[in-house]
Amino acid sequence: MTRRRDSWNLLIHSASLSSLPWVVLGDFNDLLWLEDKRGGVYHPQSLMQGFRDTVARCLLNDIPLLGFQFTWKCGKRSDHWVQERLDIGLLLLIFGLSCFLPVQRFRFENSWLLHSDIADVIDDSWQSSVHEDILHRIQLCGNCLWGWSKTKTVDFKGELDRLHQSLAM
């Protein structure tokens, strides 16, 4: 498990080095989905989820395979026939300089709704990716919101202190 985590951390570190489009191809010796394996011992959900979380954190998209689904097989002439998709292509595309790679997982903040220009950020990102699939559009919108949020600062402690003082009067 340690070597697997080391690989995931290396991928996350590599993603943080540049905001340019990039592609990662190869034998990850890991599965993204249960459907990526047929036969053999059950692959733990926690491992697949860990790999999916890493891919999501790097904002990578799985490049679908055309043709045969599996890239590895073992035990062809036995009762232990196993097929797996271990060779995976992952792709990152950035569609604007204002949308950059978040360092941490995206989370929508309700306080953003207090800003009138949030609707423009969402509309602009949504319109710029009108020909993309829905998952890509959501990911791009999240990136744009994350970048936009860095231009907004809210002094929550100062606001709380001010409200406490007004209540004390």
- Mean pLDDT of all residues in 3-8: 89
Whether residues 103 and 87 fall in one domain: no
* Per-residue pLDDT, 118: 92
- Mean pLDDT of all residues in 50-63: 86
* Mean residue pLDDT across the chain: 81
- Mean pLDDT of all residues in 148-162: 76
The residue to which tokens 């690989």 are assigned: 7
- Exposure string (b/e) for 62-84, b if CB count within 10 Å is 16 or more? eeeeeeeebeeeeeeeeeeebbb
- pLDDT for 95-130, tens place per residue? 443 444 444 567 788 888 888 999 999 999 888 887
The least confident of 45-54, 107-116, 145-154 is 145-154
Under the banding of pLDDT at 50, 70 and 90, the label for residue 149 is confident
Where a domain ends, among 36, 68, 93? 93
Whether residues 12 and 59 fall in one domain: yes
Under the banding of pLDDT at 50, 70 and 90, the label for residue 155 is low
- Mean pLDDT of all residues in 76-84: 81
The residue to which tokens 């600062």 are assigned: 153
* Per-residue pLDDT, 117: 92
- Select the more confidently predicted residue: 154 or 145: 145
Whether residues 67 and 133 fall in one domain: no
Number of residues written out for the chain: 169
Whether residues 123 and 83 fall in one domain: no
Where a domain ends, among 93, 128, 144? 93
Whether residues 112 and 151 fall in one domain: yes
Whether residues 21 and 69 fall in one domain: yes
Considering the entire predicted model, what is its pTM?
Answer: 0.51
Whether residues 65 and 129 fall in one domain: no
- Structural domain tally of the chain? 2
Where a domain ends, among 93, 111, 141? 93
Whether residues 84 and 132 fall in one domain: no
Domain with 53 in it: 1-93
Whether residues 55 and 41 fall in one domain: yes
Whether residues 76 and 133 fall in one domain: no
Whether residues 103 and 84 fall in one domain: no
